[in-house]
Structure 1
Amino acid sequence: MEIARAPRRMTSLPSWLLAQAATASGRTVAAALASTGAHRTEFAVLTALDESGPLSQAGLSDTVGLDRSDMVRLLDRLAEQGMVVREPDPADRRRNRIALTKAGRTRLRTLDGAVADAQDEVTARLSDAERDRLVSLLRKLLGA
């Protein structure tokens, strides 16, 4: 729905506006990542490993909110590309941990740049202070 043509009652609803903004910003980020040959799940996994260090597959699935069977397929692909490695968990040798490789960190820097450009595009109509305030309010809404 085009916002300029939407009923005024709709455009006064925060939930409706958030949904419209999420849809538009999601498309922008997806396009930016696609331009590098990536998907948001790849970005999420690499980011989680960079920030948390090695994680179990189950822990990684929970962290990024990806179904465990989908996670296995994604990790297989990332491992084939040399972005991650599976290593034995020192606390439980029956389990593997997933770790980011040097190539994965390099790839993440590329993805960080694409996502940063997308954020600039999404928030282009806002000042830096407004963007910071928006992030703060959204985090508050989400209980972060």
Structure 2
Amino acid sequence: MGEDVLSTPGHLISLAARGFARLSEMRLKPLGFGVGQLPVLVALGDRKASTQRDLARFARVEQPPMAQMLARMERDGLIERTRDPADGRSSHIVLTKAAREAMPAAIAALFQGNSEALAGFTEAEADQLVDLLKRLIDKLDRIAGAEASAVD
């Protein structure tokens, strides 16, 4: 049957991603956060985005799932929305005081999980893994972009 499909980079990366997600979810849940919310929390915390459209682009998700996530985050007291006076259809989104105060503990929990997962790797190996994954993600984005352009 050729190469073992369960040993392909795609499958192994998927298993690793699910493992990291499970670990992160277990550690973030007691702090009131979900792992899927991380890109939004980071973007708002670093002021890299403040609208639903910008957050969706930053998090690399479509608008409908972002709208659902933001509604849950608002319900859970993590974000606040204020209408944009210049554009009534748009709102500015900010982290609540409670979310801002809980962020350092959440970030520390995530770094701790990564540190534990990479225990036994040298610093050079960990750096190389990160570099390889970034390159792979960039390549996959380019391939998907080219295929999407060909379909349009």
Amino acid at match of 2:125: E
* Aligned residue in 1 for 2:111: 116
Equivalent position to 2:129, from 125, 128, 134:
134
The residue correspondences of 1:46-57 to structure 2 (distance < 5 A) are 46-57=41-52
* Aligned residue in 2 for 1:22: 17
RMSD (Å) for aligned C-alpha atoms: 2.8
Structure 1: gaps spanning 5 or more residues: 1-7
Structure 2: gaps spanning 5 or more residues: 140-152
Which structure would you say has the larger RCO, counting Cα contacts within 8 Å and 6 or more residues apart?
A: 1
* Aligned residue in 1 for 2:149: none
State how far apart, in whole Å, the 2-side matches of 1:88 and 1:42 are: 22
1:61 aligns with 2:63: no
State how far apart, in whole Å, the 2-side matches of 1:130 and 1:82 are: 39
Equivalent position to 1:33, from 22, 28, 36:
28
Instruction: Give, in angstroms, the shift of residue 96 of structure 1.
Output: 0.7
- Structure 1 outlier segments of 4+, above 6 Å: none
* Aligned residue in 2 for 1:92: 87
TM-score, L = length of structure 1: 0.74
Moved more, 20-29 or 127-136: 20-29
Q: State the secondary structure of the residue aligned to 1:17.
A: helix
Moved more, 105-114 or 94-103: 94-103
TM-score, L = length of structure 2: 0.71
State how far apart, in whole Å, the 1-side matches of 2:69 and 2:78 are: 11
Instruction: Give, in angstroms, the shift of residue 130 of structure 1.
Output: 1.4
State how far apart, in whole Å, the 1-side matches of 2:128 and 2:33 are: 29
Instruction: Give, in angstroms, the shift of residue 125 of structure 1.
Output: 2.5
Q: Deviations over 1:79-107 (max 9, x none)?
A: 34543221233542432111223332212
Contact 1:53–1:100 (Cα < 8 Å) also in 2 = no
State how far apart, in whole Å, the 2-side matches of 1:20 and 1:80 are: 31
Number of corresponding residues: 137
Instruction: Give, in angstroms, the shift of residue 62 of structure 1.
Output: 2.9
State how far apart, in whole Å, the 2-side matches of 1:116 and 1:134 are: 16
Give identity over the alignment, percent.
Answer: 30
